C-alpha cells in the first residue's frame, strides 16, 4: 500500500521492454521536499525505470505497485500521469517540427489547467522563466527542439518543468551533454523549482550534477536492481572509485 503522504511510492517494480526484463524489482519512496538520485552505468535499467514511471507504452510494468500522491500510477495513461503532477525531463527530447516552443507550452498548460491560460499572464511567466534559465527570447518562436543543441534542449526541458509545476520531477540524465555554464543554469532551475512541497528523482551516470543539486538520498542501480542506498557521500565515493567496488561488494555478499 501507499505510504502516508509520499509523493512517489513504488514497490517491487519490474519493467519489460519487448518481453525482456530490464528492471527487476525496484522499490523507492519519495516524500515532499526530498531529492533522490539513482546512479548507475549505461544499461543498468535506470532510464527504463524513468520511462516506465512516466507511462511510455513501450515500457511495460510487468509487476509491482506504484503510487503518485496516493493515486494508482499504473492505472493512468502518460497524459493522466502528467496532469496528476508527474514530470519526466527527457534524456533525448524529441523534435516536433512546425510547433513553436510557445505554442507547445500554451497547449501543455491548457491540458493541465483545463482552460486556456490568459495570454498576458502566460507571456509574463514564460519570459521570466526563460530569462532565469538564460534562454534567449527567440526560442519562444522556434520549433520545439528543432536544431537545438544538447544544452538548449535540456534547458527547454527545465523550462517546461518550471512552467508545469509538477509535484514530482524525474530528471533522466539531465546533465549529459551540458557544458559547465549550462550545467549551472540547469541546476539553478532545478533548485528554484524544488520546495518542501515537491520531490525530485535524478537519474544519472555521473556525480557532477549532484555538486549543484544536493541529493538527500543516493541509490545505486546495477543490473535492474537498487543495490545500495546512502547519503550524498555515496555519490562522491562512486565518483572517486567508480562502480566496480559496489559490484565487488555485491559478489562478496552473494558469495557468503
Of all helices (H) and strands (E), which one includes residue 222?
Answer: strand 217-222
CB of 163 to other proteins, least distance (A): 10
Residue 78 contacts residue 70 (beta carbons within 8 Å): no
125 binds other proteins (CB under 8 A): no
Output phi, psi for 11, to 5 deg: -135, 130
Please spell the DSSP secondary structure of 106-140, one letter per residue: HHHHHHHHSSPPPHHHHHHHHHHHHHHTT--GGGG
Stretch touching other proteins by CB under 8 A, among 89-97, 131-139, 207-215, 246-254: 89-97
Residues β-bridged to residue 30: 8
243 is a site residue for other proteins (CB under 8 A): no
Q: Is 23 helix (H, G, I), strand (E, B) or coil?
A: strand
Told to check if 82 binds other proteins by CB under 8 A, we report yes
Residue 155 as a binder of other proteins (CB under 8 A): the answer is no
- Give 67's Cβ-side CA count (13 Å radius): 15
Q: Which stretch binds other proteins (CB under 8 A): 49-57, 174-182, 232-240, 241-249?
A: 49-57
* Nearest-angstrom CA–CA distance, 8 and 1: 12
Per rule CB under 8 A, is residue 228 in the interface with other proteins? no
Query: Residue 218 in 3-state DSSP?
Result: strand
107 binds other proteins (CB under 8 A): yes
Q: Contacting other proteins (CB under 8 A), which of 4, 75, 94, 121?
A: 94
Query: Quick check: 108 binds other proteins (CB under 8 A)?
Result: yes
| Contact call for residue 154 and other proteins (CB under 8 A) | no
Assess 160 for contact with other proteins (CB under 8 A): yes
Among 31, 41, 56, 208, binds other proteins (CB under 8 A): 56
Q: Is residue 250 close enough to count as binding other proteins by CB under 8 A? A: no
Rounded Cα distance, 39 and 37, in Å: 6
Residue 145 has which C-alpha cell?
Answer: 527542439
Looking at the Cβ atoms of 23 and 53, the one nearer to other proteins is 53
Among 31, 83, 127, 225, binds other proteins (CB under 8 A): 83
Interface with other proteins (CB under 8 A): 54-58, 77-79, 81-83, 87-88, 90, 93-99, 104, 107-108, 111-112, 143, 160, 164
Amino acid at each position: 500500500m501507499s505510504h502516508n503522504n509520499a509523493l512517489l511510492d513504488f514497490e517491487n517494480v519490474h519493467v519489460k521492454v519487448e518481453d525482456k526484463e530490464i528492471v527487476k524489482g525496484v522499490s523507492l519512496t519519495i516524500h515532499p521536499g526530498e531529492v533522490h538520485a539513482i546512479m548507475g552505468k549505461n544499461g543498468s535499467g535506470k532510464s527504463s525505470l524513468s520511462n516506465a514511471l512516466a507511462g511510455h507504452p513501450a515500457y511495460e510494468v510487468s509487476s509491482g505497485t506504484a503510487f503518485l500522491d496516493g493515486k494508482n500510477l499504473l492505472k493512468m495513461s502518460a497524459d493522466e500521469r502528467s496532469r496528476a503532477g508527474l514530470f519526466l525531463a527527457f534524456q533525448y527530447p524529441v523534435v516536433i517540427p512546425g510547433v513553436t516552443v510557445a505554442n507547445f507550452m500554451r497547449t501543455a498548460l491548457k491540458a493541465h489547467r483545463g482552460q486556456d491560460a490568459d495570454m498576458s499572464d502566460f507571456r509574463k511567466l514564460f519570459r521570466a522563466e526563460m530569462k532565469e534559465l538564460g534562454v534567449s527570447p527567440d526560442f519562444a518562436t522556434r520549433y520545439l527542439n528543432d536544431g537545438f543543441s544538447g544544452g538548449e534542449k535540456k534547458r527547454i526541458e527545465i523550462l517546461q518543468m518550471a512552467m508545469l509545476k509538477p509535484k514530482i520531477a524525474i530528471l533522466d540524465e539531465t546533465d549529459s551533454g551540458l557544458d559547465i555554464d549550462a550545467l549551472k543554469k540547469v541546476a539553478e532551475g532545478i533548485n528554484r523549482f524544488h520546495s518542501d512541497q515537491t520531490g525530485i528523482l535524478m537519474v544519472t551516470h555521473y556525480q557532477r550534477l549532484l555538486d549543484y543539486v544536493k541529493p538527500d538520498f543516493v541509490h545505486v542501480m546495477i543490473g535492474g536492481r537498487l543495490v545500495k542506498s546512502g547519503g550524498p557521500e555515496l555519490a562522491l565515493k562512486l565518483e572517486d572509485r567508480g562502480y566496480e567496488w559496489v559490484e565487488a561488494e555485491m559478489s562478496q555478499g552473494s558469495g557468503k
